[in-house]
């Protein structure tokens, strides 16, 4: 399927949490692959399980979580690695791009953040080299007057500047894969645009792969090569961005796209029943909200390949083509 070397390979990932009300299945068998230099977006509404995937990839799930399946990163089994091995990987090969600037310690300067990360993974570097590289990084990511910012505390910077610092921190050790959990969620439109442009630029210049989690389909459309639509812990549709978002087949994807303000079409509210979480049916989880799910027979959750770059999990897939205009 892919000619590029595969950086991240997630196979049948299942995650459950134990809650006072019983076990809750957050992910019910998710699989995807990310190639070198590619961006894979995971899109879906709140509670679909997107953040759980992020945490699973970096092996930072809560202690009470039970996991099945595999996560292979550069041929290493992430879920089996111990703390020391993970610490080695973090920042150097696999990083997280945090959503909020609260990820910065208010009592440390920006420079201290950068230098501690660099020193931890590149111990041979001398202090001056570390400093120079840090300042250079800040400049690369669009922060002018990098010297002053190097000496500044997070408190002294504006929201946009802190965002850039976070990006610089994420990429400072040249990682192979960056996991970004809703990077534009907390940003106003101007900052969001700047962030998207920065990420696009990084994508073309650095060849770093990215797993991008978002609820915003426009972000997925701009940045991602491939996208997966997640619903209640399972993919409903997956494939190349163009095809999934512009030639969507699954009713859920259609609903999401129709519901976007840009499309000026309101979602069909009468069909839009609140999704209920947690019940572990093995059939199609979307059935009770789907206008084609009104028959009493349970629909199976089965994959249909539309072509090499497009898979959908819906038994009405073939006949969907006839509903294009709806």
Smallest gap from Cβ 181 to another protein, in A, equals: 11
Stretch that binds another protein, among 30-38, 104-112, 254-262, 280-288 (CB under 8 A): 104-112
User: What is the Cα–Cα distance from 129 to 125, expressed in whole angstroms?
Assistant: 6
Stretch that binds another protein, among 19-27, 149-157, 276-284, 318-326 (CB under 8 A): 149-157
Beta bridge partners of 28: 14
Residue 156 as a binder of another protein (CB under 8 A): the answer is yes
Closer by beta carbon to another protein, 165 or else 257: 165
User: With contacts defined by CB under 8 A, how many residues of the chain interact with another protein?
Assistant: 38
Closer by beta carbon to another protein, 133 or else 304: 133
| DSSP code for 296 | S
Q: Is 322 helix (H, G, I), strand (E, B) or coil?
A: helix
Closer by beta carbon to another protein, 16 or else 95: 95
- Residue 185, judged by CB atoms within 10 A of its CB (0-12, 13-18, 19+), counts as middle
Of the residues 1, 3, 82, 107, which one makes contact with another protein according to CB under 8 A: 107
205 is written with which tokens?
């210049």
Q: Which residues contact 267 (CB under 8 A, 6 or more apart)?
A: 255, 258, 259
Task: Please report where in the chains the tokens 């009592």 appear, as a residue.
Answer: 107
Q: Which of residues 5-34 bind another protein (CB under 8 A)?
A: none
Residue 144 as a binder of another protein (CB under 8 A): the answer is yes
- Residue 8: half-sphere exposure toward Cβ, Cα within 13 Å: 29
| DSSP code for 295 | S
Closest CA to 154 of 117, 121, 112, 122: 112
Stretch that binds another protein, among 29-37, 73-81, 116-124, 125-133 (CB under 8 A): 116-124
Given strand 65-73, what is the order of strands in its sheet? 22-35, 6-19, 65-73, 76-77
Stretch that binds another protein, among 102-110, 126-134, 210-218, 288-296 (CB under 8 A): 102-110
Of the residues 66, 102, 276, 288, which one makes contact with another protein according to CB under 8 A: 102
Residue 92 as a binder of another protein (CB under 8 A): the answer is yes
Residue 62 as a binder of another protein (CB under 8 A): the answer is no
User: What is the Cα–Cα distance from 11 to 71, expressed in whole angstroms?
Assistant: 6
Q: Which residues contact 136 (CB under 8 A, 6 or more apart)?
A: 146
Residue 272 as a binder of another protein (CB under 8 A): the answer is no
Residue 171 as a binder of another protein (CB under 8 A): the answer is no
Smallest gap from Cβ 105 to another protein, in A, equals: 4
Smallest gap from Cβ 157 to another protein, in A, equals: 6
- Residue 9: half-sphere exposure toward Cβ, Cα within 13 Å: 11
Which residues contribute to the site for another protein (CB under 8 A)?
58, 60, 86-92, 95-96, 98, 100, 102-108, 116-117, 120-121, 143-145, 148-149, 152-153, 155-158, 160-161, 169
């Amino acid at each position: 399927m892919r000619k590029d070397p595969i950086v991240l390979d997630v196979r049948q990932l299942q995650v459950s949490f134990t809650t006072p009300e019983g076990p809750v299945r957050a992910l019910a068998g998710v699989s995807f692959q990310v190639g070198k230099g590619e961006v894979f977006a995971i899109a879906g509404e709140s509670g679909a399980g997107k953040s759980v995937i992020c945490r699973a990839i970096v092996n930072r799930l809560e202690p009470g979580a039970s996991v099945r399946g595999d996560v292979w990163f550069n041929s290493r089994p992430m879920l089996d690695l111990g703390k020391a091995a993970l610490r080695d990987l973090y920042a150097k090969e696999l990083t997280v791009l945090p959503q909020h600037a609260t990820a910065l310690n208010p009592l440390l300067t920006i420079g201290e953040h950068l230098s501690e990360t660099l020193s931890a993974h590149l111990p041979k570097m001398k202090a001056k080299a570390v400093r120079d590289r840090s300042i250079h990084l800040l400049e690369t990511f669009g922060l002018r007057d990098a010297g002053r910012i190097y000496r500044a505390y997070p408190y002294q910077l504006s929201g946009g500047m802190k965002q850039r610092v976070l990006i610089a921190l994420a990429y400072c050790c040249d990682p192979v894969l960056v996991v970004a959990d809703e990077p534009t969620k907390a940003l106003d439109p101007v900052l969001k645009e700047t962030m998207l442009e920065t990420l696009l630029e990084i994508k073309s210049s650095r060849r770093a792969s990215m797993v991008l989690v978002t609820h915003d389909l426009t972000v997925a459309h701009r940045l991602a090569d491939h996208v997966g639509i997640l619903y209640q812990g399972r993919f409903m549709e997956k494939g190349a961005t163009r095809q999934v978002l512009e030639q969507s087949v699954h009713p859920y994807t259609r609903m999401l796209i129709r519901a976007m303000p840009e499309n000026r079409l309101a979602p069909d509210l009468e069909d839009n029943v609140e999704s209920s979480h947690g019940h572990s049916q093995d059939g199609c989880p979307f059935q009770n909200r789907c206008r084609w799910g009104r028959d009493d027979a349970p629909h199976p959750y089965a994959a249909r390949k539309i072509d090499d770059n497009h898979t959908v999990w819906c038994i009405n897939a073939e006949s969907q083509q006839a509903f294009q205009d709806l």
